[in-house]
Amino acid sequence: MPHHSNDKKQIILFLLLFQCLFAWSQSYFVKTTTPCNTEFLLKTPGRWFKATENDYGRAKVTSQQHQELLKRLNTIHQWIYDLYPSPTAVDAQPFYFTNDKYFASQLKLEKLQNGKLRGTEFNGTPVIFYSYTVKFCGYHCGREANELMLGHGCESSTNFIVTINSLDPIFIQLWLDDYYKEIMRVDGRPIKMLSPIVGKWKGYDVYNSNGIYNPNEKIVFLLHREGMLPYIPVTRKQYLDRSIECLQKFFENNLKGYDNAEGLGVLMDKKEKEEQIKKQQKLRDDVLKYYRDELDATTKQGLLDAPAIIFGDITSTFTSYPIFTTETAGGKMLVTENPAYFIKDLPKYIPQLIIYEIDDCKVCYVDPSLNPYKLIDDNFPIEKLQAMIDK
């Protein structure tokens, strides 16, 4: 009998979900009196929606501080709106986001009963991370001849984003095991991977995680206080010392796995297990020699303090590729956040670093003239955004 009760609840939930989806789809598609085509869309006025702010995770600030945040976000919004006040066949959806953040935190790791490590950040500079985003969602013809599909709620769009007091948009996510997190720190601060600088745009360094410079598709650059970077390059020596330690731990854990009652070793006979262990031991010796040889060569060349710009993944085990390279060759610099960068006497909401990002979606519009990418890219007042630093 209890099964019938659960089935009934599931049916009710399904019906509620269906009603929500139906209501959404009804507002997404609009009937037209004439057939929809490109000519029709080019005469269809678009819409600016009111900016919405995140509810979950919002920065814990006073009313006065919140007004200061909104004042800056509203200013950025007005710059964009003034460039594109009357969109055609495009819905413009602005979003505000605020969150509490600590910059240049140290990472403390403690071992739990299950053997895992739990990380806790401490000694960071408290700041308010906030951002302005606007999605430009194109209209399209609908499922029938006399139907228009509005843009609001689209998945793909040309996007404009301004991020304040966070370097996250120019960092490449590192997925590290616990012992890597423990070892890959400098003065307790986690090592980060910086997107390569791939070119210049209006005098600014352009970052792109894929290592490709194409200002007609994507622009990301960093605005910061003159004379100081908000990140510190990891040196080659720092990286090599930590890589050797990480790799020793990596192979130690791998070899222990063959004696684990629940590991792959239980599926092998004695001879096969011994062969696999020998292969792992040889790979360990080859990889560690490769990194130690690089440390010796780097020492002899006087490059121990040179920035660590690595060719592949962090602590890669591929000995057929160079460990270090250049950014122009697609290398990625390892850095830590600079604990001396943020002026602690300034209120937390003051922009001390800003990341500008515009991402193009050429296939999102029925006609290239509807895409606002070039309009914004050419005319956005960068100098006014730069002037917000420390103010």
Contact 124, 106 (CB under 8 A): yes
Residue with the two structure tokens 């460990």: 323
Residue 373, strand partner residues: none
Q: What's the token pair of residue 386?
A: 């730069």
* Cα 27 to Cα 21, 139, 143, 151, 386, distances in angstroms: 10, 13, 14, 11, 40
CA–CA distance, 365 with 371 (Å, rounded to integer): 6
At residue 209, the pLDDT reads: 84
Domain coordinates of the chain in residue numbers?
28-231+340-386, 240-294
pTM, entire model: 0.86
At residue 17, the pLDDT reads: 38
Question: Average pLDDT for residues 355-374, to the nearest whole number?
Answer: 93
Buried b (16+ CB within 10 A) or exposed e, 142-155: beeeeebbbbeebe
Could you report the per-residue pLDDT of 179-197, keeping only the tens digit for each? Answer: 778 899 999 999 999 999 9
At residue 267, the pLDDT reads: 61
Q: 2-6, 46-50, 56-60, 330-334: which has the minimum mean pLDDT? A: 2-6
User: Where is pLDDT greater, at 210 or 222?
Assistant: 222
At residue 112, the pLDDT reads: 76
Could you report the per-residue pLDDT of 296-351, keeping only the tens digit for each? Answer: 999 999 999 999 999 988 889 999 999 999 988 889 999 999 999 999 999 999 99
Residues 6+ apart with CB under 8 A from 117: 109, 110, 111, 178, 179, 181, 182
* Position 257 confidence tier, pLDDT thresholds 50, 70, 90: confident
Other CB atoms within 10 A of residue 278 CB: 10
